[in-house]
A and B are shown apart, each in its own frame.
Chain A
């Protein structure tokens, strides 16, 4: 229970985390998550194109991932689209933190540059 755990991991209860890992512990589902990691919302047709997995099977796998909170679905007209569903705010904060760190590195380089180049 160290306080240095990352915020996203710390925000998940152990049972919740276990269900996330269980959901990820399947090659097909891991592949789906890897595809969704590219960003954006995907239809079942997009997720099954080029694979031998049936739409039904993919839907079932996505449901397991959704139950664990790994993915979420949105409805666009009659279509159902799937995307990664981490805690939106937490994720945004982490992304901003990383971008902030990038700015810190840039400002450091600017400081070095302005102080050393006449």
Chain B
């Protein structure tokens, strides 16, 4: 809602027809998290101050590693971690760069469903050139950009 901070955070919500306890398990159990997120976290634990790492399992992104520092684990209401949002180049050490914070909050509804909200914040501290990188990464690099230009000029 706040335009002034619209470059610093992302907020998305979804209504899940399952009790908060079920959603909490899908979030806080590392292996279950990995199942829907798309990374391999078998045998790991989400605990405050601990790191969780595992390769992405989504086709085309297998060279990327999910790497998060767990911050808050407050069942069945809140889970948060810090990570590097565009850490896609295996050759780059991102540890010295600013991380963003991902916070999941759960809210039970009257109908035994759960409103899940995810907020990722701290983007304003991410260096501008890394945002550009993310932008190009997301549009599949320069080839994607060229296709965008092509599409635009052929309109």
Contacts and interface: CB of A to CB of B under 8 A. Distances in A.
A98 B135 contact: yes
A40 B129 contact: yes
B37 A106 contact: yes
B142 A34 contact: yes
B50 interface: no
Contact of B135 (A2, A89, A95): A95
Contact of A95 (B6, B134, B148): B134
Contacts of A91: 128, 131-132, 135
B52 interface: no
Contact of A114 (B26, B85, B123): B26
Contact of A84 (B132, B139, B149): B132
Q: How large is the interface on A (under 10, 10 to 19, 20 to 34, 35 or more residues)?
A: 35 or more
B134 A99 contact: yes
B130 A39 contact: yes
Q: How large is the interface on B (under 10, 10 to 19, 20 to 34, 35 or more residues)?
A: 35 or more
A9 B148 CA distance: 10
B137 to A, nearest CB: 9
A30 B131 CA distance: 21
Would you call the interface of chain B mostly helix, strand, loop, or mixed? helix
A115 B17 contact: yes
Given A103-B10, A103-B118, A113-B26, A39 B36 contact: no
Contacts of B12: 100, 103-104, 107
A56 interface: no
A109 interface: yes
Would you call the interface of chain A mostly helix, strand, loop, or mixed? helix
B10 A99 contact: yes
A3 interface: no
Contacts of A104: 12, 14
A76 B128 CA distance: 16
A96 B145 CA distance: 17
8 contacts: A9-B152, A37-B132, A37-B136, A41-B129, A96-B10, A107-B13, A111-B116, A113-B26
Interface of B: 6-7, 10, 12-14, 16-18, 22-23, 26-27, 32, 35-38, 85, 114, 116, 118, 120, 123, 128-136, 138-139, 141-142, 145, 148-149, 152-153, 155
Given A40-B129, A109-B36, 14 more contacts: A21-B149, A37-B141, A38-B133, A39-B136, A91-B132, A92-B128, A95-B132, A95-B134, A95-B135, A96-B6, A100-B12, A104-B14, A107-B118, A117-B26
